[in-house]
Amino acid sequence: MVLFSPATVPESPSSAAGHLLGSIIGPCALLITGIYLLAFSGNVEVGKLSSTDRKVGSACTFLGLVWLEGMHWWTWTPMLNGEINPYWLVFWPTFLLLATGLSSGAAFSLRYLGDSREQESNFMLVISSLTFTLTALGMIIDGPNISAETFRDSFWLAVSDIFGLGLGVGLSILVFAFVIWIYESSLPPTKSLDAPSQQELVQASSIVAKHIGGEQE
Amino acid sequence: MSDLSKTWKIIIMAISAPPLLLMIIAVILGDDITSQAFKRFGNALITGYTFSAGLLFINMFFYADSRHRPLAPLFGMLLATIFGSMITLWLLSQGDLLLEENGSVRAQALSNIVRILVSLVALIMAVAVAIGGTFVAITSRPKRKLFEEE
Protein backbone atom coordinates (compact mmCIF):
# COMPACT_ATOMS: atom_id res chain seq x y z
CA MET A 1 0.00 0.00 0.00
CA VAL A 2 2.83 2.37 0.92
CA LEU A 3 4.64 1.53 -2.33
CA PHE A 4 1.56 2.26 -4.42
CA SER A 5 0.64 5.48 -2.56
CA PRO A 6 2.29 7.80 -5.17
CA ALA A 7 -0.14 6.33 -7.75
CA THR A 8 -3.24 6.07 -5.54
CA VAL A 9 -2.93 9.36 -3.60
CA PRO A 10 -0.45 11.44 -5.65
CA GLU A 11 -1.58 14.72 -4.06
CA SER A 12 -0.72 13.50 -0.54
CA PRO A 13 2.68 14.70 0.71
CA SER A 14 3.10 11.47 2.67
CA SER A 15 3.15 9.48 -0.58
CA ALA A 16 6.75 10.71 -0.95
CA ALA A 17 7.70 8.01 1.58
CA GLY A 18 6.16 5.29 -0.59
CA HIS A 19 7.87 6.77 -3.64
CA LEU A 20 11.27 6.71 -1.92
CA LEU A 21 10.74 3.14 -0.73
CA GLY A 22 9.91 2.11 -4.31
CA SER A 23 12.98 3.95 -5.60
CA ILE A 24 15.56 2.51 -3.20
CA ILE A 25 14.22 -1.01 -2.77
CA GLY A 26 15.95 -2.17 -6.00
CA PRO A 27 19.52 -1.00 -5.31
CA CYS A 28 19.29 -1.85 -1.58
CA ALA A 29 18.10 -5.40 -2.36
CA LEU A 30 20.90 -5.80 -4.92
CA LEU A 31 23.49 -4.54 -2.44
CA ILE A 32 22.34 -6.81 0.41
CA THR A 33 21.99 -9.85 -1.87
CA GLY A 34 25.45 -9.15 -3.31
CA ILE A 35 27.07 -8.87 0.13
CA TYR A 36 25.31 -12.08 1.26
CA LEU A 37 26.48 -14.03 -1.81
CA LEU A 38 30.04 -12.69 -1.51
CA ALA A 39 30.27 -13.48 2.22
CA PHE A 40 28.94 -17.04 1.95
CA SER A 41 30.86 -18.00 -1.19
CA GLY A 42 34.15 -17.39 0.60
CA ASN A 43 35.90 -19.64 3.14
CA VAL A 44 32.98 -20.64 5.34
CA GLU A 45 32.80 -24.00 7.12
CA VAL A 46 29.13 -24.77 6.46
CA GLY A 47 26.81 -23.96 3.56
CA LYS A 48 29.46 -22.61 1.19
CA LEU A 49 28.01 -21.19 -2.03
CA SER A 50 29.43 -21.89 -5.49
CA SER A 51 31.94 -19.76 -7.43
CA THR A 52 29.10 -18.75 -9.79
CA ASP A 53 27.31 -17.29 -6.77
CA ARG A 54 30.46 -15.30 -6.03
CA LYS A 55 30.41 -13.82 -9.54
CA VAL A 56 26.68 -13.05 -9.23
CA GLY A 57 27.35 -11.49 -5.80
CA SER A 58 30.09 -9.25 -7.21
CA ALA A 59 27.79 -8.17 -10.06
CA CYS A 60 24.88 -7.49 -7.67
CA THR A 61 27.04 -5.41 -5.31
CA PHE A 62 28.53 -3.43 -8.20
CA LEU A 63 25.12 -2.80 -9.81
CA GLY A 64 23.57 -1.82 -6.46
CA LEU A 65 26.34 0.69 -5.81
CA VAL A 66 26.22 2.12 -9.34
CA TRP A 67 22.40 2.44 -9.09
CA LEU A 68 22.62 4.31 -5.77
CA GLU A 69 25.43 6.54 -7.05
CA GLY A 70 23.43 7.19 -10.24
CA MET A 71 20.68 8.61 -8.04
CA HIS A 72 23.05 11.35 -6.92
CA TRP A 73 25.51 11.77 -9.77
CA TRP A 74 23.28 11.00 -12.72
CA THR A 75 19.63 11.51 -13.66
CA TRP A 76 18.21 8.60 -11.65
CA THR A 77 17.40 10.83 -8.65
CA PRO A 78 13.96 9.93 -7.20
CA MET A 79 11.75 12.74 -8.51
CA LEU A 80 8.16 13.31 -7.41
CA ASN A 81 5.92 15.85 -9.17
CA GLY A 82 8.97 17.41 -10.87
CA GLU A 83 10.89 17.87 -7.60
CA ILE A 84 13.51 15.81 -5.78
CA ASN A 85 11.85 13.46 -3.31
CA PRO A 86 12.52 15.17 0.06
CA TYR A 87 13.11 11.84 1.80
CA TRP A 88 15.91 10.99 -0.64
CA LEU A 89 17.73 14.00 0.82
CA VAL A 90 17.27 12.37 4.24
CA PHE A 91 18.26 8.83 3.22
CA TRP A 92 21.37 9.49 1.12
CA PRO A 93 23.46 11.75 3.43
CA THR A 94 22.42 9.69 6.50
CA PHE A 95 23.52 6.47 4.78
CA LEU A 96 26.86 7.95 3.63
CA LEU A 97 27.59 9.51 7.02
CA LEU A 98 26.83 6.32 8.96
CA ALA A 99 28.55 4.05 6.43
CA THR A 100 31.83 5.99 6.57
CA GLY A 101 31.84 6.04 10.39
CA LEU A 102 30.80 2.41 10.91
CA SER A 103 33.21 1.09 8.25
CA SER A 104 36.06 2.98 9.87
CA GLY A 105 34.98 1.55 13.26
CA ALA A 106 34.92 -1.97 11.75
CA ALA A 107 38.41 -1.42 10.28
CA PHE A 108 39.90 -0.42 13.63
CA SER A 109 38.01 -3.19 15.46
CA LEU A 110 39.57 -5.75 13.11
CA ARG A 111 43.01 -4.25 13.64
CA TYR A 112 42.90 -3.92 17.43
CA LEU A 113 40.53 -6.69 18.54
CA GLY A 114 41.36 -9.25 15.84
CA ASP A 115 44.50 -11.32 15.38
CA SER A 116 46.52 -10.65 12.18
CA ARG A 117 43.59 -8.97 10.45
CA GLU A 118 45.48 -6.09 8.82
CA GLN A 119 44.43 -7.08 5.29
CA GLU A 120 40.73 -7.16 6.24
CA SER A 121 41.14 -3.92 8.15
CA ASN A 122 42.64 -2.25 5.07
CA PHE A 123 39.67 -3.44 2.98
CA MET A 124 37.25 -1.79 5.42
CA LEU A 125 39.35 1.38 5.41
CA VAL A 126 38.97 1.45 1.61
CA ILE A 127 35.15 1.25 2.00
CA SER A 128 35.22 4.00 4.63
CA SER A 129 37.45 6.22 2.45
CA LEU A 130 35.19 5.59 -0.56
CA THR A 131 32.02 6.70 1.27
CA PHE A 132 33.96 9.61 2.82
CA THR A 133 35.16 10.76 -0.61
CA LEU A 134 31.67 10.45 -2.12
CA THR A 135 30.24 12.61 0.67
CA ALA A 136 33.00 15.21 0.36
CA LEU A 137 32.61 15.30 -3.44
CA GLY A 138 28.86 15.72 -3.08
CA MET A 139 29.52 18.80 -0.93
CA ILE A 140 31.83 20.34 -3.53
CA ILE A 141 30.58 19.28 -6.97
CA ASP A 142 27.04 19.82 -8.29
CA GLY A 143 25.12 16.77 -9.49
CA PRO A 144 22.65 17.02 -12.43
CA ASN A 145 19.69 17.29 -10.00
CA ILE A 146 21.25 17.95 -6.60
CA SER A 147 23.51 20.97 -6.21
CA ALA A 148 26.46 20.92 -3.81
CA GLU A 149 24.72 23.52 -1.64
CA THR A 150 21.54 21.42 -1.37
CA PHE A 151 23.64 18.40 -0.47
CA ARG A 152 25.54 20.35 2.20
CA ASP A 153 22.22 21.51 3.71
CA SER A 154 20.92 17.92 3.67
CA PHE A 155 24.20 16.77 5.23
CA TRP A 156 23.77 19.16 8.19
CA LEU A 157 20.14 18.11 8.58
CA ALA A 158 21.24 14.45 8.56
CA VAL A 159 23.83 15.23 11.25
CA SER A 160 21.10 16.92 13.34
CA ASP A 161 18.80 13.95 12.73
CA ILE A 162 21.41 11.42 13.90
CA PHE A 163 22.36 13.42 17.00
CA GLY A 164 18.72 14.08 17.88
CA LEU A 165 17.71 10.46 17.38
CA GLY A 166 20.69 9.20 19.39
CA LEU A 167 19.92 11.56 22.25
CA GLY A 168 16.18 10.78 22.18
CA VAL A 169 16.75 7.02 22.16
CA GLY A 170 19.37 7.34 24.91
CA LEU A 171 16.97 9.42 27.01
CA SER A 172 14.18 6.85 26.68
CA ILE A 173 16.60 4.05 27.70
CA LEU A 174 17.53 6.09 30.78
CA VAL A 175 13.83 6.52 31.64
CA PHE A 176 13.32 2.76 31.13
CA ALA A 177 16.21 1.99 33.50
CA PHE A 178 14.89 4.56 35.99
CA VAL A 179 11.38 3.00 36.00
CA ILE A 180 12.83 -0.48 36.62
CA TRP A 181 15.19 0.85 39.32
CA ILE A 182 12.31 2.60 41.15
CA TYR A 183 10.25 -0.60 41.05
CA GLU A 184 13.11 -2.88 42.12
CA SER A 185 14.09 -0.58 44.99
CA SER A 186 10.48 -0.52 46.25
CA LEU A 187 10.43 -4.33 46.65
CA PRO A 188 10.92 -5.67 50.21
CA PRO A 189 14.35 -7.26 50.75
CA THR A 190 14.39 -11.03 50.31
CA LYS A 191 14.28 -12.94 53.60
CA SER A 192 17.62 -14.57 54.34
CA LEU A 193 17.74 -17.97 56.06
CA ASP A 194 18.95 -18.44 59.65
CA ALA A 195 22.39 -19.97 60.19
CA PRO A 196 22.25 -23.83 60.42
CA SER A 197 21.83 -25.27 63.93
CA GLN A 198 24.37 -27.69 65.51
CA GLN A 199 22.01 -30.62 64.85
CA GLU A 200 21.65 -29.67 61.15
CA LEU A 201 25.41 -29.36 60.80
CA VAL A 202 25.93 -32.84 62.31
CA GLN A 203 23.32 -34.30 59.94
CA ALA A 204 24.90 -32.59 56.92
CA SER A 205 28.39 -33.79 57.84
CA SER A 206 27.14 -37.37 58.24
CA ILE A 207 25.57 -37.24 54.76
CA VAL A 208 28.79 -35.80 53.30
CA ALA A 209 30.87 -38.47 55.06
CA LYS A 210 28.74 -41.21 53.50
CA HIS A 211 29.66 -40.00 50.01
CA ILE A 212 33.42 -39.50 50.39
CA GLY A 213 36.27 -41.75 51.43
CA GLY A 214 35.43 -44.84 49.39
CA GLU A 215 36.21 -47.41 52.13
CA GLN A 216 33.20 -49.56 51.15
CA GLU A 217 34.45 -50.02 47.57
CA MET B 1 44.31 2.74 31.75
CA SER B 2 43.83 -0.90 30.73
CA ASP B 3 44.60 -2.04 27.18
CA LEU B 4 40.98 -2.96 26.57
CA SER B 5 39.59 0.45 27.50
CA LYS B 6 42.30 2.08 25.35
CA THR B 7 41.22 -0.14 22.43
CA TRP B 8 37.57 0.83 22.87
CA LYS B 9 38.51 4.50 22.97
CA ILE B 10 40.40 4.07 19.68
CA ILE B 11 37.39 2.32 18.10
CA ILE B 12 34.98 5.04 19.25
CA MET B 13 37.35 7.67 17.88
CA ALA B 14 37.56 5.73 14.59
CA ILE B 15 33.75 5.75 14.32
CA SER B 16 33.45 9.48 15.02
CA ALA B 17 36.52 10.78 13.16
CA PRO B 18 35.22 10.55 9.53
CA PRO B 19 31.86 12.25 10.31
CA LEU B 20 33.70 14.96 12.28
CA LEU B 21 36.11 15.54 9.37
CA LEU B 22 33.14 15.81 7.00
CA MET B 23 31.56 18.38 9.34
CA ILE B 24 34.79 20.38 9.29
CA ILE B 25 34.73 20.33 5.46
CA ALA B 26 31.09 21.49 5.51
CA VAL B 27 31.96 24.28 7.97
CA ILE B 28 34.85 25.40 5.74
CA LEU B 29 32.55 25.48 2.71
CA GLY B 30 30.30 27.63 4.93
CA ASP B 31 26.50 27.67 4.90
CA ASP B 32 24.43 28.96 7.77
CA ILE B 33 21.48 26.66 8.39
CA THR B 34 21.59 26.83 12.21
CA SER B 35 17.86 27.48 12.57
CA GLN B 36 16.81 24.61 10.28
CA ALA B 37 19.37 22.27 11.88
CA PHE B 38 18.07 23.15 15.36
CA LYS B 39 14.48 22.44 14.31
CA ARG B 40 15.52 19.12 12.81
CA PHE B 41 17.51 18.23 15.93
CA GLY B 42 14.54 19.06 18.19
CA ASN B 43 12.11 17.09 16.03
CA ALA B 44 14.46 14.09 15.87
CA LEU B 45 15.00 14.18 19.65
CA ILE B 46 11.32 14.22 20.63
CA THR B 47 10.31 11.73 17.95
CA GLY B 48 13.23 9.44 18.79
CA TYR B 49 12.31 9.57 22.48
CA THR B 50 8.61 8.86 21.93
CA PHE B 51 9.21 6.13 19.33
CA SER B 52 11.77 4.29 21.42
CA ALA B 53 9.82 4.80 24.69
CA GLY B 54 6.88 3.11 22.93
CA LEU B 55 9.08 0.18 21.91
CA LEU B 56 10.50 -0.09 25.45
CA PHE B 57 6.96 -0.03 26.85
CA ILE B 58 6.23 -3.15 24.78
CA ASN B 59 9.51 -4.61 26.04
CA MET B 60 8.32 -3.98 29.61
CA PHE B 61 5.76 -6.80 29.15
CA PHE B 62 8.67 -9.27 28.91
CA TYR B 63 10.22 -7.80 32.04
CA ALA B 64 6.85 -8.04 33.81
CA ASP B 65 6.60 -11.69 32.77
CA SER B 66 9.81 -12.47 34.63
CA ARG B 67 8.61 -10.61 37.73
CA HIS B 68 5.15 -12.06 38.50
CA ARG B 69 3.46 -9.46 36.26
CA PRO B 70 3.64 -6.30 38.37
CA LEU B 71 1.63 -3.35 37.05
CA ALA B 72 3.79 -0.54 38.47
CA PRO B 73 6.67 -0.59 35.90
CA LEU B 74 4.22 -1.06 33.02
CA PHE B 75 2.25 1.93 34.21
CA GLY B 76 5.46 3.93 34.73
CA MET B 77 6.69 3.28 31.17
CA LEU B 78 3.23 3.98 29.74
CA LEU B 79 3.28 7.32 31.55
CA ALA B 80 6.77 8.07 30.15
CA THR B 81 5.55 7.31 26.61
CA ILE B 82 2.39 9.41 26.99
CA PHE B 83 4.52 12.21 28.47
CA GLY B 84 6.77 12.07 25.39
CA SER B 85 3.80 12.24 23.01
CA MET B 86 2.23 15.15 24.91
CA ILE B 87 5.52 17.09 24.97
CA THR B 88 5.95 16.40 21.22
CA LEU B 89 2.50 17.73 20.37
CA TRP B 90 2.88 20.71 22.71
CA LEU B 91 6.27 21.71 21.28
CA LEU B 92 5.02 21.29 17.71
CA SER B 93 2.04 23.53 18.43
CA GLN B 94 4.35 26.37 19.61
CA GLY B 95 4.23 28.14 16.24
CA ASP B 96 7.54 28.37 14.42
CA LEU B 97 9.63 26.73 17.17
CA LEU B 98 9.81 23.24 15.64
CA LEU B 99 7.61 23.47 12.53
CA GLU B 100 9.68 22.90 9.40
CA GLU B 101 8.14 23.15 5.91
CA ASN B 102 4.83 21.72 7.13
CA GLY B 103 1.66 23.72 7.57
CA SER B 104 0.20 21.92 10.57
CA VAL B 105 1.16 20.03 13.71
CA ARG B 106 -0.29 16.80 12.30
CA ALA B 107 1.70 17.12 9.07
CA GLN B 108 4.91 17.81 11.02
CA ALA B 109 4.29 14.83 13.36
CA LEU B 110 3.66 12.54 10.37
CA SER B 111 6.73 13.89 8.59
CA ASN B 112 8.80 13.24 11.76
CA ILE B 113 7.60 9.62 11.93
CA VAL B 114 8.31 9.00 8.24
CA ARG B 115 11.74 10.62 8.56
CA ILE B 116 12.66 8.44 11.54
CA LEU B 117 11.71 5.37 9.48
CA VAL B 118 13.77 6.59 6.50
CA SER B 119 16.73 7.24 8.84
CA LEU B 120 16.30 3.72 10.25
CA VAL B 121 16.43 2.26 6.72
CA ALA B 122 19.62 4.28 6.10
CA LEU B 123 21.05 2.97 9.40
CA ILE B 124 20.19 -0.64 8.49
CA MET B 125 21.85 -0.24 5.08
CA ALA B 126 24.97 1.34 6.61
CA VAL B 127 25.21 -1.48 9.19
CA ALA B 128 24.73 -4.04 6.39
CA VAL B 129 27.59 -2.46 4.42
CA ALA B 130 29.91 -2.24 7.47
CA ILE B 131 29.22 -5.68 8.98
CA GLY B 132 28.64 -7.38 5.61
CA GLY B 133 31.87 -5.85 4.27
CA THR B 134 33.75 -7.15 7.31
CA PHE B 135 32.40 -10.68 6.73
CA VAL B 136 33.25 -10.50 3.03
CA ALA B 137 36.81 -9.41 3.91
CA ILE B 138 37.21 -12.20 6.49
CA THR B 139 35.77 -15.03 4.38
CA SER B 140 37.57 -13.93 1.20
CA ARG B 141 40.98 -14.68 2.73
CA PRO B 142 42.46 -18.18 2.36
CA LYS B 143 41.79 -20.38 5.38
CA ARG B 144 44.37 -19.80 8.12
CA LYS B 145 46.13 -22.58 10.05
CA LEU B 146 45.32 -22.32 13.75
CA PHE B 147 47.82 -25.03 14.78
CA GLU B 148 50.89 -26.47 13.06
CA GLU B 149 49.44 -30.00 13.47
CA GLU B 150 46.45 -29.21 11.24
The answer to whether the CB atoms of B16 and A101 lie below 8 A apart is: yes
Are A100 and A174 members of one domain?
Answer: yes
pLDDT of A147 reads: 92
What is the residue range of A155's domain?
A: 87-187
* Residue A194 lies inside a defined structural domain of this protein: no
* Residue A157 lies inside a defined structural domain of this protein: yes
Per-residue pLDDT, averaged over A11-31, amounts to: 86
Closest Cα in chain A to B126: A99
Q: Are A165 and B48 in contact (CB under 8 A)?
A: yes
Q: How far is A196 from chain B (nearest CA, A)?
A: 30
Domain count, chain A: 2
What are the tens digits of pLDDT across the range A33-58? 999 999 999 888 888 899 899 999 99
* Residue A198 lies inside a defined structural domain of this protein: no
Neighboring chain B residues of A135 at a CB cutoff of 8 Å:
22
% residues pLDDT > 90 (chain A): 65
Of B110, B134, B139, the CB nearest to A14: B110
pLDDT of B149 reads: 61
Q: How far apart are CA A81 and CA A19, in angstroms?
A: 11
Q: Which of A84, A108, A138 corresponds to the end of one domain?
A: A84
Are A107 and A156 members of one domain?
Answer: yes
- Mean residue pLDDT across chain B: 85
* pLDDT band (50, 70, 90) for residue A5: low
Q: Which of A62, A84, A106 corresponds to the end of one domain?
A: A84
What are the tens digits of pLDDT across the range B31-83? 767 778 888 999 999 999 999 999 998 888 877 777 676 777 788 888 888 88
- The DSSP line for A5-67 is HHHHSTT-TTHHHHHHHHHHHHHHHHHHHHHHHHHHTSS-SSSPPPHHHHHHHHHHHHHHHHH
* Residue A148 lies inside a defined structural domain of this protein: yes
CB atoms within 10 A of CB B150: 7
ipTM of this complex: 0.86
CA distances for A163 relative to A98, B29, B37, angstroms: 12, 21, 11
Are A93 and A181 members of one domain?
Answer: yes
The answer to whether the CB atoms of B38 and A38 lie below 8 A apart is: no
Are A80 and A150 members of one domain?
Answer: no
